[in-house]
Amino acid sequence: MAEETGPQHPRVRVDLSGQVAVVTGASQGIGRAIAETLAANGATVALVARSAARLDEVTAAIRAAGGRAEPHPCDVSQSAEVTAVVERIHASLGRFVILVNNAGVSRDTLLPRMSDEEWDEVLSTNLRGPFLFMRAVSRPMMQQRYGRIVNVASVSGLIGNPGQANYSASKAGLVGMTRTVAKELAGRKITVNAVAPGFIASDMTAALGPALLDEVKKRVPAKRLGEAWEVAEAVLFLVAPASAYITAQVLTVDGGLIG
């Protein structure tokens, strides 16, 4: 694993040639950055998200940069769709050894005002989705005796966040599931880890407005928001062959926010 210094930021380089990776929530933000990073390091990436149009955009961008990618629209909360898309990816690209569960939604409001639908939608996407994908890929990974699974959690799942009872619960559950599945699969040379981003620059954080963003930055010891590529390169480290002895861990990417 080598480090390459570029004009914009340092990049970790990992040889993922010949490996197939599945990335959910790959149509934008952190998921797109993860997909592009894995492709830039030689992986063939199956892009999963609900929006076919956005997936086509990401696929075109990866291919234009010399990478390999395929779009696979899917609602990650629907069991039948997940089973079908995993079978479709396997038939199209062959065995895959990397799964990144990034798909997630937020429906923020204080608990007394939270509806059943707002609770259910967040838990279905953020927690049920990773369960369905890990269940679907665990058997073939066990048969090939190799795999790398990374779940994108959040610091909200580690420390809680007012107005995010549903989101925090889903991410805390994802951390617990990560550690449990890691212990179940470790004997088959499959690692299962999580990354927990803090405040990452995105359309969502931009919508907070300059004043609130300044307050957010004051809370972060690094005094800035993180970038999507910084989360992506943490994921890249965890899926590398050299990370074989790292499993059941949560890597926070938060500028020191929770210490």
In three-state secondary structure terms, 112 is helix
* CB-CB contact of 254 with 226 (8 Å): yes
Residue linked to tokens 């939608």? 121
Q: How far from 3 is each of 9, 13, 161, 233, CA to CA, in Å?
A: 11, 6, 35, 11
Cα distance between residue 37 and residue 136, in whole Å: 24
Tokens found for residue 247 = 């499993």
Q: Check if 146 is active-site.
A: no
What is the rounded CA–CA span in Å between residue 258 and residue 69? 35
Q: What would the 3-class secondary structure string for 140-158 be?
A: HHHHHCCEEEEEECCCHHH
Cβ atoms of 179 and 217 within 8 Å: the answer is no
**Which of these is catalytic: 133, 167, 199, 229?**
167
Cα angle, residue 186 at apex, residues 184 and 190 outer, rounded to 5° = 110
Q: Catalytic site residues?
A: 167
